[in-house]
Amino acid sequence: MPAVEVSNLSKSFGGVQALRGVSLSLGESEVLGLIGPNGSGKSTLLNVIAGVQKPTSGTVKLGGRAISGMRPDAIVKLGVAKTYQIPKPFASMSVRENVAVAALYGRRLRSVGPALEEADRTLAIVGMGDRSDLAAGSLTAQEKKRLELAKAIATGAKVLLLDEVFAGLSSEELRDSIALFRKMHEELRFSALVVEHVMRAVLNVSEGVVVLEEGRVIAAGSPDQIVHDERVVQAYLGSKGVGT
């Protein structure tokens, strides 16, 4: 059974159709890249799966159980966590406390002590152990992105919805982040839906790629198939070509 099964999902905002009957399935421990031009519905799709927005029609199933329409915090507790494209740290709290909130509530722990221990473990995994006592508001943009990832993992989620965690990094930072992601995936074996503009990241971390355009899936396949797909090259990569 796939970890997440999205069937015929539609979402409209007033007259704007952001998603038009999207279907896809994400296997256990699979990493699926989600690409498409701006406004193609990638972030909306993540938001609907995470419960931040309610679908107009269609269903999302998690391990066979329908979760569409549930509250975001309830969906997190069932094991689906989303990162924000623009990081939203709890600015007045330390990095450690930020992650502890996710562990405490995402994993339904009883008290703060074990949550802080879980936060320390998670921060070590994402390589932020030395940052744990800093105020989250004082982190650099890259560190805030990594903190988003740490919070998502700390919830104990088996399914991660990652919204542009690789964006805005220098070439070197990107290489490190990709290596880190692969290491984490080997260790934790989560499934992930990765929205990404940075093609190098998508091609390096995903086993499969789904391409959205104007709220529709226009292609799906292995990274290799996708970069050679005529429609994708036209619709999305355009004259820019591969490798940006």
Partner 1 sequence: MKGRTPFTLYGLLAVMAALAAVASFSGVATTVLLVNLLVFAALAYSINFITGMTGYVSFGHVVFMAIGSYSLAVLVSTYSTSPFEGIALGALLGGLFALGIGAVTLRFRGVYFAIASLVLALAGYNLVLQFPQFGPGGELIFYIPFQPLTVFFAIWGIVVAEIVLTFFVNRGKVGLGIRAIKDEEDAAAAAGVNPMKLKLYVYMLSGLFAGAAGAVFAWSTFGVNASSAFDLTFSLQMLAMILIGGMGTSTGPLLGASIVYLLYYELLTYPRLQGGQFLVVGAAVIVIALFVPDGIVGIIRRKYPSLKPVIE
Amino acid identity of residue 112, one-letter, is V
Stretch of 6-14, 18-26, 87-95, 219-227 lying at the interface with partner 1 (CB under 8 A): 87-95
Please say whether the beta carbons of 163 and 83 come within 8 A: yes
- Rounded distance, CA 185 to CA 171, Å? 21
Burial zone of 7 (CB within 10 Å; 0-12 exposed, 13-18 middle, 19+ buried)? middle
Among 23, 25, 52, 233, binds partner 1 (CB under 8 A): 52
Q: Is 166 in the site for partner 1 (CB under 8 A)?
A: no
Residue count of the chain, please give it: 244
Q: Which stretch binds partner 1 (CB under 8 A): 37-45, 100-108, 167-175, 190-198?
A: 100-108
Lookup: tokens for 222: 């292995």
Which span (7-15, 36-44, 101-109, 123-131) binds partner 1, by CB under 8 A? 101-109
Read off the amino acid at residue 166.
Answer: F
Q: Kindly state the tokens that stand for 237.
A: 């990569």
Helices then strands, counting H and E runs in the chain, come out as 9, 10
Q: Are 191 and 6 in contact (CB under 8 A)?
A: no
Residue 145 interacts with partner 1 (CB under 8 A): yes or no: no
Does the footprint of partner 1 cover residue 90 (CB under 8 A)? yes
Residues in contact with partner 1, shown as a per-residue x/- string from 10 to 49 under the rule CB under 8 A? ----------------------------------------
Sole window of 23-31, 92-100, 187-195, 209-217 interacting with partner 1 (rule: CB under 8 A)? 92-100
Give the number of residues in contact with partner 1, rule: CB under 8 A: 35
- Considering the rule CB under 8 A, would residue 141 count as an interface residue with partner 1? no
In 3-state terms, what secondary structure has residue 56?
Answer: coil
Residues 6+ apart with CB under 8 A from 55: 9, 10, 11, 19, 48, 68, 69
Q: Of 101 and 180, which CB lies nearer to partner 1 in the complex structure?
A: 101
- For the CB of residue 18, give the shortest distance to partner 1 in the complex, in Å: 18
**Cβ 76 to partner 1, closest distance in Å?**
4
HSE-CB of 29 using CA atoms within 13 angstroms: 7
Smaller CB distance to partner 1: residue 41 or 106?
Answer: 106
**Interface residues toward partner 1, by CB under 8 A:** 50, 52, 71-74, 76-77, 81-82, 84, 88-93, 97, 100-102, 104-113, 115-116, 151, 155
